[in-house]
Structure 1
Protein backbone atom coordinates (compact mmCIF):
# COMPACT_ATOMS: atom_id res chain seq x y z
CA UNK A 1 0.00 0.00 0.00
CA UNK A 2 1.38 3.39 -1.02
CA UNK A 3 2.03 6.08 1.60
CA UNK A 4 0.84 9.58 0.72
CA UNK A 5 3.28 12.13 2.15
CA UNK A 6 3.06 15.76 3.20
CA UNK A 7 5.83 18.35 2.94
CA UNK A 8 8.65 17.69 5.40
CA UNK A 9 7.57 14.11 6.14
CA UNK A 10 10.28 11.44 6.34
CA UNK A 11 9.62 7.72 5.87
CA UNK A 12 11.69 4.53 5.88
CA UNK A 13 12.26 2.91 2.50
CA UNK A 14 14.36 -0.18 3.18
CA UNK A 15 13.60 -0.87 6.87
CA UNK A 16 10.04 -2.02 6.22
CA UNK A 17 10.81 -3.45 2.77
CA UNK A 18 13.34 -6.21 3.31
CA UNK A 19 15.44 -6.93 0.24
CA UNK A 20 14.60 -3.65 -1.51
CA UNK A 21 17.76 -3.10 -3.57
CA UNK A 22 16.40 -1.09 -6.49
CA UNK A 23 13.87 1.71 -6.73
CA UNK A 24 12.27 3.69 -9.54
CA UNK A 25 11.77 7.36 -8.77
CA UNK A 26 8.91 8.61 -10.94
CA UNK A 27 8.31 12.33 -11.44
CA UNK A 28 5.27 13.78 -13.13
CA UNK A 29 3.66 17.12 -13.95
CA UNK A 30 1.06 18.65 -16.24
CA UNK A 31 0.91 22.14 -17.72
CA UNK A 32 -2.02 24.10 -16.28
CA UNK A 33 -4.71 25.02 -18.80
CA UNK A 34 -5.27 28.69 -19.53
CA UNK A 35 -8.21 30.33 -21.22
CA UNK A 36 -7.69 32.25 -24.46
CA UNK A 37 -10.39 34.43 -25.99
CA UNK A 38 -10.63 34.13 -29.77
CA UNK A 39 -13.04 34.73 -32.64
CA UNK A 40 -15.04 31.63 -31.77
CA UNK A 41 -15.26 32.12 -27.99
CA UNK A 42 -13.08 30.94 -25.14
CA UNK A 43 -10.64 28.15 -25.83
CA UNK A 44 -8.68 26.25 -23.19
CA UNK A 45 -5.06 25.51 -23.97
CA UNK A 46 -2.03 24.24 -22.06
CA UNK A 47 1.37 25.84 -22.68
CA UNK A 48 4.22 23.70 -24.01
CA UNK A 49 6.50 23.41 -20.98
CA UNK A 50 9.60 21.19 -21.02
CA UNK A 51 10.38 20.10 -17.45
CA UNK A 52 13.51 18.10 -16.70
CA UNK A 53 14.02 15.74 -13.75
CA UNK A 54 17.52 15.36 -12.33
CA UNK A 55 19.30 13.65 -9.44
CA UNK A 56 22.24 15.04 -7.48
CA UNK A 57 24.36 12.53 -5.57
CA UNK A 58 25.60 14.43 -2.51
CA UNK A 59 28.19 13.58 0.13
CA UNK A 60 27.74 13.90 3.92
CA UNK A 61 28.54 17.64 3.69
CA UNK A 62 25.67 18.07 1.19
CA UNK A 63 28.10 18.68 -1.67
CA UNK A 64 28.23 17.40 -5.23
CA UNK A 65 31.75 15.98 -4.94
CA UNK A 66 32.10 14.67 -8.50
CA UNK A 67 30.93 16.01 -11.86
CA UNK A 68 29.41 12.65 -12.85
CA UNK A 69 27.27 12.78 -9.67
CA UNK A 70 24.78 15.02 -11.51
CA UNK A 71 22.35 12.77 -13.43
CA UNK A 72 20.16 14.69 -15.89
CA UNK A 73 19.12 14.91 -19.55
CA UNK A 74 22.71 15.60 -20.68
CA UNK A 75 24.35 13.03 -18.36
CA UNK A 76 22.02 10.04 -18.05
CA UNK A 77 24.16 7.88 -15.78
CA UNK A 78 26.18 8.52 -12.61
CA UNK A 79 29.90 7.72 -12.81
CA UNK A 80 29.43 4.54 -10.74
CA UNK A 81 26.30 3.45 -12.66
CA UNK A 82 24.04 3.35 -9.57
CA UNK A 83 21.69 6.10 -10.82
CA UNK A 84 20.29 6.13 -14.38
CA UNK A 85 17.90 8.64 -16.04
CA UNK A 86 15.11 7.37 -18.32
CA UNK A 87 15.55 10.18 -20.86
CA UNK A 88 14.03 13.55 -21.62
CA UNK A 89 10.26 14.03 -21.97
CA UNK A 90 9.73 17.31 -23.83
CA UNK A 91 6.05 17.99 -23.08
CA UNK A 92 4.80 16.30 -19.90
CA UNK A 93 1.72 15.11 -21.78
CA UNK A 94 -0.07 11.86 -21.03
CA UNK A 95 -0.78 9.80 -17.94
CA UNK A 96 1.76 8.42 -15.50
CA UNK A 97 5.37 9.41 -14.85
CA UNK A 98 6.87 11.95 -17.23
CA UNK A 99 10.45 11.00 -16.37
CA UNK A 100 11.94 8.26 -14.23
CA UNK A 101 15.24 7.84 -12.45
CA UNK A 102 16.41 4.33 -11.60
CA UNK A 103 18.45 3.85 -8.42
CA UNK A 104 20.30 0.69 -7.45
CA UNK A 105 20.62 1.35 -3.72
CA UNK A 106 23.15 -1.42 -3.14
CA UNK A 107 25.49 0.13 -5.74
CA UNK A 108 25.39 3.70 -4.41
CA UNK A 109 28.98 4.46 -3.28
CA UNK A 110 29.68 4.87 0.43
CA UNK A 111 30.70 8.51 -0.11
CA UNK A 112 27.18 9.38 -1.33
CA UNK A 113 25.01 10.24 1.66
CA UNK A 114 21.87 11.38 -0.17
CA UNK A 115 20.33 11.59 -3.63
CA UNK A 116 18.43 14.84 -4.20
CA UNK A 117 15.68 14.86 -6.85
CA UNK A 118 14.88 18.12 -8.62
CA UNK A 119 12.78 19.31 -11.55
CA UNK A 120 13.53 22.43 -13.54
CA UNK A 121 11.94 24.13 -16.55
CA UNK A 122 14.13 24.04 -19.65
CA UNK A 123 14.82 27.44 -21.26
CA UNK A 124 12.51 29.07 -18.68
CA UNK A 125 13.97 32.58 -19.05
CA UNK A 126 13.50 32.82 -22.83
CA UNK A 127 10.08 31.14 -22.68
CA UNK A 128 8.99 33.20 -19.64
CA UNK A 129 7.78 30.07 -17.82
CA UNK A 130 7.66 29.13 -14.15
CA UNK A 131 6.07 26.50 -11.91
CA UNK A 132 2.94 28.63 -11.47
CA UNK A 133 2.11 27.26 -14.94
CA UNK A 134 2.38 23.64 -13.76
CA UNK A 135 -0.21 21.56 -11.91
CA UNK A 136 -0.31 18.05 -10.48
CA UNK A 137 3.44 17.77 -9.87
CA UNK A 138 4.46 14.71 -7.87
CA UNK A 139 7.28 12.34 -6.97
CA UNK A 140 6.70 8.68 -6.26
CA UNK A 141 8.88 5.70 -5.45
CA UNK A 142 8.13 2.30 -6.94
CA UNK A 143 9.59 -1.14 -6.21
CA UNK A 144 10.49 -2.39 -9.72
CA UNK A 145 10.46 -6.03 -8.57
CA UNK A 146 6.65 -5.99 -8.26
CA UNK A 147 5.68 -2.52 -9.63
CA UNK A 148 4.30 -1.61 -6.18
CA UNK A 149 4.15 2.12 -5.43
CA UNK A 150 5.77 2.58 -2.01
CA UNK A 151 5.10 6.28 -1.56
CA UNK A 152 3.86 9.40 -3.31
CA UNK A 153 4.30 13.08 -2.56
CA UNK A 154 2.00 15.51 -4.40
CA UNK A 155 3.42 19.03 -4.54
CA UNK A 156 0.44 21.27 -3.80
CA UNK A 157 2.13 24.56 -2.80
CA UNK A 158 1.99 27.64 -5.03
CA UNK A 159 5.33 27.74 -6.87
CA UNK A 160 4.58 30.80 -9.05
CA UNK A 161 7.82 32.58 -9.99
CA UNK A 162 9.96 29.50 -9.24
CA UNK A 163 11.81 27.88 -12.13
CA UNK A 164 13.06 24.79 -10.29
CA UNK A 165 11.66 22.48 -7.60
CA UNK A 166 13.69 20.57 -5.04
CA UNK A 167 11.21 17.73 -4.78
CA UNK A 168 12.63 15.20 -2.33
CA UNK A 169 15.64 13.13 -1.33
CA UNK A 170 16.57 9.53 -0.63
CA UNK A 171 19.16 9.44 2.15
CA UNK A 172 21.09 7.07 4.38
CA UNK A 173 20.14 6.75 8.06
CA UNK A 174 21.61 4.15 10.44
CA UNK A 175 22.39 1.72 7.62
CA UNK A 176 18.96 2.08 6.00
CA UNK A 177 17.54 4.30 3.24
CA UNK A 178 14.82 6.86 3.96
CA UNK A 179 12.87 9.42 1.91
CA UNK A 180 12.31 13.08 2.78
CA UNK A 181 9.51 15.07 1.05
CA UNK A 182 11.08 18.54 0.55
CA UNK A 183 8.93 20.49 -1.94
CA UNK A 184 10.94 23.72 -2.06
CA UNK A 185 10.99 26.15 -4.98
CA UNK A 186 14.14 27.72 -6.43
CA UNK A 187 14.98 30.49 -8.90
CA UNK A 188 17.71 28.43 -10.61
CA UNK A 189 17.25 28.87 -14.37
CA UNK A 190 19.05 25.66 -15.43
CA UNK A 191 20.05 22.38 -13.78
CA UNK A 192 23.72 23.39 -14.04
CA UNK A 193 22.94 26.60 -12.10
CA UNK A 194 21.18 24.56 -9.42
CA UNK A 195 24.03 22.05 -9.26
CA UNK A 196 26.52 24.90 -8.65
CA UNK A 197 24.71 25.64 -5.36
CA UNK A 198 25.89 22.22 -4.14
CA UNK A 199 29.57 22.52 -5.16
Structure 2
Protein backbone atom coordinates (compact mmCIF):
# COMPACT_ATOMS: atom_id res chain seq x y z
CA UNK A 1 0.00 0.00 0.00
CA UNK A 2 1.27 3.46 -0.92
CA UNK A 3 2.36 5.91 1.74
CA UNK A 4 0.62 9.25 2.17
CA UNK A 5 3.26 11.81 3.04
CA UNK A 6 2.99 14.96 5.11
CA UNK A 7 4.65 18.25 4.21
CA UNK A 8 8.48 18.00 4.45
CA UNK A 9 8.38 14.20 4.92
CA UNK A 10 10.89 12.10 2.93
CA UNK A 11 11.10 8.44 1.94
CA UNK A 12 13.70 6.24 0.27
CA UNK A 13 12.33 4.98 -3.03
CA UNK A 14 14.47 1.85 -2.86
CA UNK A 15 13.04 0.94 0.55
CA UNK A 16 9.46 1.54 -0.55
CA UNK A 17 9.57 0.18 -4.11
CA UNK A 18 12.38 -2.36 -3.79
CA UNK A 19 15.63 -2.53 -5.68
CA UNK A 20 15.68 -2.31 -9.44
CA UNK A 21 13.46 0.78 -9.66
CA UNK A 22 14.36 2.18 -13.06
CA UNK A 23 11.34 4.08 -14.39
CA UNK A 24 8.83 6.11 -12.47
CA UNK A 25 6.20 8.74 -13.06
CA UNK A 26 4.96 11.67 -11.06
CA UNK A 27 1.25 12.23 -11.56
CA UNK A 28 -0.43 15.50 -10.69
CA UNK A 29 -4.17 15.86 -10.23
CA UNK A 30 -6.56 18.63 -9.28
CA UNK A 31 -10.20 19.61 -9.55
CA UNK A 32 -11.74 23.04 -10.00
CA UNK A 33 -13.80 24.17 -7.00
CA UNK A 34 -17.46 23.71 -7.90
CA UNK A 35 -19.59 26.80 -7.48
CA UNK A 36 -22.36 26.31 -4.91
CA UNK A 37 -25.66 27.92 -4.07
CA UNK A 38 -28.67 29.32 -5.88
CA UNK A 39 -26.77 31.97 -7.85
CA UNK A 40 -24.26 29.38 -9.14
CA UNK A 41 -27.12 27.20 -10.41
CA UNK A 42 -28.77 30.23 -11.98
CA UNK A 43 -25.67 31.14 -13.99
CA UNK A 44 -24.69 27.56 -14.73
CA UNK A 45 -21.86 27.26 -12.23
CA UNK A 46 -19.50 29.66 -13.97
CA UNK A 47 -16.21 28.68 -15.58
CA UNK A 48 -14.98 25.60 -13.71
CA UNK A 49 -11.85 25.07 -15.78
CA UNK A 50 -8.51 25.41 -14.02
CA UNK A 51 -5.30 25.32 -16.06
CA UNK A 52 -2.42 24.20 -13.85
CA UNK A 53 0.95 23.24 -15.30
CA UNK A 54 3.22 20.51 -13.92
CA UNK A 55 6.94 21.04 -14.47
CA UNK A 56 10.26 19.46 -13.55
CA UNK A 57 13.40 21.45 -12.73
CA UNK A 58 16.61 19.42 -13.04
CA UNK A 59 19.40 20.60 -10.72
CA UNK A 60 23.04 19.57 -10.47
CA UNK A 61 25.06 19.01 -7.28
CA UNK A 62 25.62 22.79 -6.98
CA UNK A 63 21.84 23.41 -7.20
CA UNK A 64 22.16 25.00 -10.63
CA UNK A 65 19.28 24.42 -13.06
CA UNK A 66 20.58 22.34 -15.98
CA UNK A 67 17.26 21.63 -17.72
CA UNK A 68 13.50 22.21 -17.51
CA UNK A 69 10.58 20.04 -18.58
CA UNK A 70 7.24 21.83 -18.89
CA UNK A 71 4.42 22.46 -21.34
CA UNK A 72 6.73 24.45 -23.64
CA UNK A 73 9.46 21.77 -23.57
CA UNK A 74 7.85 18.34 -23.17
CA UNK A 75 11.13 16.40 -23.10
CA UNK A 76 14.47 16.91 -21.36
CA UNK A 77 17.47 17.54 -23.62
CA UNK A 78 18.69 13.96 -23.06
CA UNK A 79 15.21 12.40 -23.37
CA UNK A 80 15.22 10.86 -19.88
CA UNK A 81 12.26 12.96 -18.66
CA UNK A 82 9.01 13.38 -20.61
CA UNK A 83 5.84 15.36 -19.97
CA UNK A 84 2.40 13.99 -20.89
CA UNK A 85 1.23 17.35 -22.25
CA UNK A 86 -0.85 20.28 -21.08
CA UNK A 87 -4.25 19.67 -19.44
CA UNK A 88 -6.10 22.98 -19.45
CA UNK A 89 -9.16 22.10 -17.37
CA UNK A 90 -8.46 19.69 -14.49
CA UNK A 91 -11.61 17.81 -15.45
CA UNK A 92 -11.85 14.02 -15.33
CA UNK A 93 -10.66 11.26 -13.05
CA UNK A 94 -7.07 10.39 -12.24
CA UNK A 95 -3.88 12.29 -13.01
CA UNK A 96 -4.30 15.45 -15.05
CA UNK A 97 -0.63 15.75 -16.03
CA UNK A 98 2.19 13.22 -15.70
CA UNK A 99 5.97 13.51 -15.83
CA UNK A 100 7.78 10.28 -16.75
CA UNK A 101 11.35 9.73 -15.51
CA UNK A 102 13.79 7.08 -16.73
CA UNK A 103 16.24 6.99 -13.82
CA UNK A 104 18.78 4.91 -15.75
CA UNK A 105 18.96 7.44 -18.59
CA UNK A 106 19.33 10.50 -16.35
CA UNK A 107 22.71 12.17 -16.82
CA UNK A 108 25.14 11.75 -13.92
CA UNK A 109 25.09 15.49 -13.15
CA UNK A 110 21.32 15.42 -12.48
CA UNK A 111 21.18 15.21 -8.67
CA UNK A 112 17.78 16.75 -7.89
CA UNK A 113 14.48 16.73 -9.78
CA UNK A 114 12.06 19.31 -8.41
CA UNK A 115 8.40 19.02 -9.37
CA UNK A 116 6.35 22.20 -9.44
CA UNK A 117 2.86 23.24 -10.39
CA UNK A 118 1.76 26.71 -11.36
CA UNK A 119 -1.13 28.60 -12.89
CA UNK A 120 0.06 30.25 -16.08
CA UNK A 121 -3.29 32.05 -16.42
CA UNK A 122 -3.11 33.45 -12.86
CA UNK A 123 -5.95 31.45 -11.32
CA UNK A 124 -5.11 30.87 -7.66
CA UNK A 125 -5.21 27.82 -5.41
CA UNK A 126 -8.35 29.12 -3.70
CA UNK A 127 -10.07 27.93 -6.89
CA UNK A 128 -8.54 24.44 -6.71
CA UNK A 129 -9.44 21.40 -4.63
CA UNK A 130 -8.23 17.81 -4.33
CA UNK A 131 -4.73 18.72 -5.56
CA UNK A 132 -2.17 15.96 -5.17
CA UNK A 133 1.01 14.52 -6.57
CA UNK A 134 1.87 10.83 -6.53
CA UNK A 135 4.86 8.80 -7.57
CA UNK A 136 4.43 5.48 -9.36
CA UNK A 137 6.72 2.61 -10.26
CA UNK A 138 6.29 2.38 -14.03
CA UNK A 139 7.29 -1.33 -14.08
CA UNK A 140 4.12 -2.42 -12.30
CA UNK A 141 2.10 0.84 -12.28
CA UNK A 142 1.97 0.74 -8.46
CA UNK A 143 1.72 3.92 -6.46
CA UNK A 144 4.70 4.27 -4.12
CA UNK A 145 3.75 7.49 -2.33
CA UNK A 146 1.25 10.35 -2.47
CA UNK A 147 1.21 13.92 -1.21
CA UNK A 148 -2.17 15.62 -0.87
CA UNK A 149 -2.07 19.41 -1.02
CA UNK A 150 -4.81 20.83 1.18
CA UNK A 151 -3.45 24.38 1.38
CA UNK A 152 -5.75 26.93 -0.26
CA UNK A 153 -4.93 30.58 -0.88
CA UNK A 154 -4.12 33.32 -3.36
CA UNK A 155 -0.84 31.71 -4.45
CA UNK A 156 -0.44 30.74 -8.10
CA UNK A 157 2.34 28.17 -7.77
CA UNK A 158 3.58 25.36 -5.53
CA UNK A 159 6.90 23.55 -5.26
CA UNK A 160 5.26 20.14 -4.77
CA UNK A 161 8.02 17.56 -4.29
CA UNK A 162 11.56 16.56 -5.12
CA UNK A 163 13.61 13.51 -6.03
CA UNK A 164 17.22 13.64 -4.85
CA UNK A 165 20.02 11.21 -5.71
CA UNK A 166 22.18 10.24 -2.74
CA UNK A 167 24.64 7.54 -1.75
CA UNK A 168 21.76 5.22 -0.83
CA UNK A 169 19.68 5.82 -3.95
CA UNK A 170 16.78 8.16 -4.68
CA UNK A 171 14.83 9.97 -1.97
CA UNK A 172 11.36 11.45 -2.55
CA UNK A 173 10.41 14.49 -0.45
CA UNK A 174 6.97 16.13 -0.14
CA UNK A 175 7.51 19.92 -0.07
CA UNK A 176 4.24 21.85 -0.63
CA UNK A 177 5.81 25.33 -0.65
CA UNK A 178 3.42 28.01 -1.97
CA UNK A 179 4.67 30.77 -4.27
CA UNK A 180 3.33 33.49 -6.53
CA UNK A 181 5.14 32.24 -9.65
CA UNK A 182 3.20 31.76 -12.86
CA UNK A 183 5.82 29.90 -14.90
CA UNK A 184 8.45 27.30 -14.04
CA UNK A 185 11.12 30.00 -14.53
CA UNK A 186 9.55 31.94 -11.65
CA UNK A 187 9.84 28.91 -9.36
CA UNK A 188 13.53 27.98 -9.83
CA UNK A 189 14.88 30.06 -6.90
CA UNK A 190 12.23 28.76 -4.49
CA UNK A 191 12.77 25.20 -5.72
CA UNK A 192 16.49 25.45 -4.95
CA UNK A 193 15.80 26.79 -1.43
CA UNK A 194 13.23 24.05 -0.78
CA UNK A 195 15.62 21.27 -1.80
CA UNK A 196 18.50 22.72 0.23
CA UNK A 197 16.36 23.05 3.39
Alpha-carbon distance between aligned partners in 2 of 1:86 and 1:147, rounded to the nearest angstrom: 16
Alpha-carbon distance between aligned partners in 1 of 2:37 and 2:127, rounded to the nearest angstrom: 15
In structure 1, the residue matched to 2:2 is 2
By how many angstroms is 1:108 displaced? 1.2
Contiguous gaps of at least 5 residues in structure 2: 193-197
Q: How does 1:1-199 map to 2 (within 5 A)?
A: 1-16=1-16, 17-35=18-36, 37-38=38-39, 44-45=45-46, 47-65=48-66, 69-124=67-122, 129-158=123-152, 160-195=153-188
Cα distance, 1:42–1:169 mapped onto 2, change above 3 Å: same
Alpha-carbon distance between aligned partners in 2 of 1:39 and 1:172, rounded to the nearest angstrom: 48
Cα root mean square deviation, aligned: 2.1
By how many angstroms is 1:20 displaced? 0.6
Alpha-carbon distance between aligned partners in 2 of 1:3 and 1:31, rounded to the nearest angstrom: 25
By how many angstroms is 1:145 displaced? 1.2
By how many angstroms is 1:30 displaced? 0.6
TM, length-normalised to structure 2: 0.89
Q: Which structure: greater strand fraction?
A: 1
By how many angstroms is 1:173 displaced? 1.7
Contiguous gaps of at least 5 residues in structure 1: none
Alpha-carbon distance between aligned partners in 2 of 1:39 and 1:132, rounded to the nearest angstrom: 17
